[in-house]
Amino acid sequence: MAQDGQTFKAGLEDVVANTSEICFVDGKEGRLIYRGYDIHDLVKGGSTFEEVIYLLWHGELPTASQLAELTQSIATQRALAPEVLQFLRSVRKDANAMEVLRTAVSVAGIYDPDNGDESMEANVRKATRLVAQVPTIVTTFERLRQGLEPVTPDPSLGMAASFFYLLNGEKPDDFVERAFNIALILHADHELNASTFSARVTAATLSDIYSAITSAVGTLKGPLHGGANEQVMRMLLEIGDVSKAEAFIDQALAEKRKIMGFGHRVYRTEDPRATHLRQLSREAGERAGETKWFEMSQIIERIVKEKKGLNPNVDFYSASLYYKIGLPVHLFTPVFASSRISGWTAHVLEQYRNNRLIRPRAEYVGPTNRTYVPLPERN
């Protein structure tokens, strides 16, 4: 039953739910814009992930001194509270990494030094800790599940290099650092995607920022949102060889199986993030002397375009890139969270600055005017 003449749209497709100055997805032109800056310009201009974090939070690119201050602030707050580390040590080693991250974020909120202070200044400090510590949570649990001790953060490293150092205990080479920095930028924000929307809904109740981010992590865990590149890589691993790729995809399409990593709810052209990830995937394979994952991806892209008219999205080439730079497949979604925490926090801060409770309506399709029958009279 529609309310007030409004038209129901499944999944809220194309429904404008709020205003924002943070990110614009131009689906028609295939552009992704952060605070007015095209991501192509940010990537080609050599931006660091920290620079993009500042842009998303404050609306302007930082000066050298502002960037240095934020970079230092993030770098010096990567260490986890003892209680968070204790929690990670206590978790069963076969636990889902996103479930662990979801709960660890909640635990971190309890022990945040600014817990209970909901001023904007305190929330910016909390956002800084979240951006700094989400990658530490992800990498620390991965080491613990392998029977290894956590690595002490190195404050001299930027976000991209720090992730690999915390994961492997070694600094990455220049290509891996550059490629991962670009990937972090490309995944930083994407307008009102499902996890960002859930974060804003939680923040709109004036719940704390850790609760909002916990909501976002729980939403990202869903395979229709955050797990697609993991499924892409598992498909590539199942195919196994370039010579088998065409037959595999032809059969999958004939059986009407969904090929992950293609199509998008908003973009009607190629996902602009895929443009950079395709090139990085190629470079990663060439540098390693093993291009089969990229070659298989090219074959799959060609066939799906020809037969389904679908373009690759951000998940498709990020899969083979992440695999070739040494990221475990089961960490692909937590890596997504380690980037998107920048956008989530930006949206939560924006929600707090101009808050209105988010309370949409539902189209009721059940019965009306039923007659109540007392319990003794029911058959």
Please state, in angstroms and rounded to a whole number, the distance separating the CA atoms of residues 191 and 203: 16
338 burial via Cβ count (<10 Å: 0-12, 13-18, 19+):
buried
What's the CA gap between 283 and 287, in Å, rounded? 6
Judging by beta carbons within 10 Å of its beta carbon (0-12, 13-18, 19+), is residue 105 exposed, middle or buried?
buried
Catalytic status, residue 190: no
The DSSP annotation for 210-225 comes to HHHHHHHHHHHTSTTT
Indicate which residue of 112, 208, 271, 315 is catalytic: 315
- Measured CA to CA, the distance from residue 198 to residue 212 in angstroms comes to 7
Asked if 63 contacts 80 with a C-beta cutoff of 8 angstroms, the reply is no
What are the CB-based long-range contacts (under 8 Å, 24+) for 113-118? 115/208, 118/206, 118/208
Cβ-based neighbours of 163, under 8 Å, separated by 6 or more: 135, 138, 139, 180, 335, 338
Q: Which of 112, 187, 189, 264 is catalytic?
A: 264
For 156, counting Cβ atoms within 10 Å of its Cβ (0-12 exposed, 13-18 middle, 19+ buried), the class is exposed
- φ/ψ region of 328 (left if φ > 0, alpha if ψ in -120 to 50, else beta) reads beta
What are 25's strand-pairing partners?
32
Question: Residue 254: in which H helix or E strand, if any?
Answer: helix 242-254
**Tokens 């007030």 belong to residue:** 4
Contacts of 63 by beta carbon, 8 Å cutoff, 6+ apart: none
Specify the DSSP class assigned to residue 24: E
Tell me if residue 264 is catalytic. Answer: yes
Burial 313-336 (b: 16+ CB within 10 A, else e): bbbbbbbbbbbbbebebebbbbbb
Q: Where are the beta strands (DSSP E) in the chain?
A: 23-26, 31-34, 37-38
Catalytic residue list: 264, 315
